[in-house]
Structure 1
Amino acid sequence: MDRKEIEILELLEKNGRMDVHTIARMVELSPEEVERAIQKFEDQQIIHGYSTLIDWTDVLGYEGVTAMIDVKVTPVRGKGFNDVAERIYRFPEVKAVYLMSGAYDLSVSVEGKTMSQVARFVSEKLSTLDTVISTTTHFILKKYKHDGIIFGEDDDNDRRMPVSP
């Protein structure tokens, strides 16, 4: 992969809605070359999708709950953690699963409408899997920054540090 392709990916990672013509000007390629590169990334599943980050706390009073669950598991012989992770990520409540180093094997991100709903998921679905040894649930109380976006910050407010000689 060449430097121009990496630049295209970096721009799309920051803003998936960026216009092809704008990207082309920024990386000094034609719009057609950029379109071909993006199509190649999608075909090769380098780009897995495009998403919008919404602060739901300000929309219709929605107060959903997100929890990060540390999970210790017994890996499956010959398959490692992959089968266990797949069983877990297939639950609709699960938004992300990561293999981790340290005291726990997997980190699982779960969303629900209430803390009770998340607790029921852990006690009735996750903990009952035969390969799960233990879990520790951490509820997210407030988001300050997610995917590089700072929540609650006024975009018009100039946050640059003053520089003096």
Structure 2
Amino acid sequence: MESKELEILQILEKNSRLDIETIAKMTQLKEEEVKKIINKLEEDKVILGYSTLIDWHKVSDNHGVTAMIDVKVTPLRGVGFDKVAERIYKFPEVKAVYLMSGTYDLSVSIEEKTMAEVAEFVSEKLSALDSVVSTTTHFILKKYKHDGVVIDGEQEDKRIVVSP
């Protein structure tokens, strides 16, 4: 991959809302060149999409639950963990699936409205898969940083400073 492609990727990763003109100035390329590079990166599936990071706790009427589920599986002969992961990520509740090292094989992130819905997903969908041996569910209580962005980092530390 060329250095200008990498530079554009790094710029878009930090702020995907930048316009072509700004990216062209930052990379010292012509706007047409930037458009061509971005289109190529999208076609080659290097750029998979553009997302917005939202602090859902600031949105009224949103009291959703995020769970991280560690999953131990029996890999399928000839395809390993890939087909098991594919079956899991096809569930609409699933936001992310990662192959992990350590005690568990896969880490699954899901979002639901209630803890009961998470429990239902784990017991009726995830655990019901033939390859799934065991699961451990962790609930996210508070996000401090996500995708490199500090969530609500403007809060002041209101504790009294105590020094010896």
After the TM superposition, which segments of 4 or more aligned residues of structure 1 sit over 4 Å from their partners? none
Paired position in structure 1 for 2:152? 152
| Same amino acid, percent of matched pairs | 67
Paired position in structure 1 for 2:13? 13
Task: Give the secondary-structure state (helix, strand or coil) at the position aligned to 2:53.
Answer: coil
Equivalent-residue separation in structure 2 for 1:107 and 1:75 (angstroms): 15
* Cα displacement string for residues 11-35 of structure 1 (whole angstroms, at most 9, x for unaligned residues): 0011111111111111110111000
Residue 100 (str. 1) matches residue 100 (str. 2): yes
Give, in angstroms, the shift of residue 139 of structure 1: 0.3
Equivalent-residue separation in structure 2 for 1:102 and 1:109 (angstroms): 17
Gaps of 5+ in 2: 157-164
Paired position in structure 1 for 2:73? 73
Give, in angstroms, the shift of residue 154 of structure 1: 3.0
Alignment map for 1:15-164 (pairs within 5 Å): 15-154=15-154
Comparing 54-63 with 40-49, greater Cα deviation is found at: 54-63
One-letter amino acid of the counterpart of residue 36, structure 2: R
Cα-Cα RMSD:
1.3
The number of residue pairs the alignment matches comes to 156
Equivalent-residue separation in structure 1 for 2:143 and 2:63 (angstroms): 12
* Cα displacement string for residues 143-165 of structure 1 (whole angstroms, at most 9, x for unaligned residues): 0000111111239x9xxxxxxxx
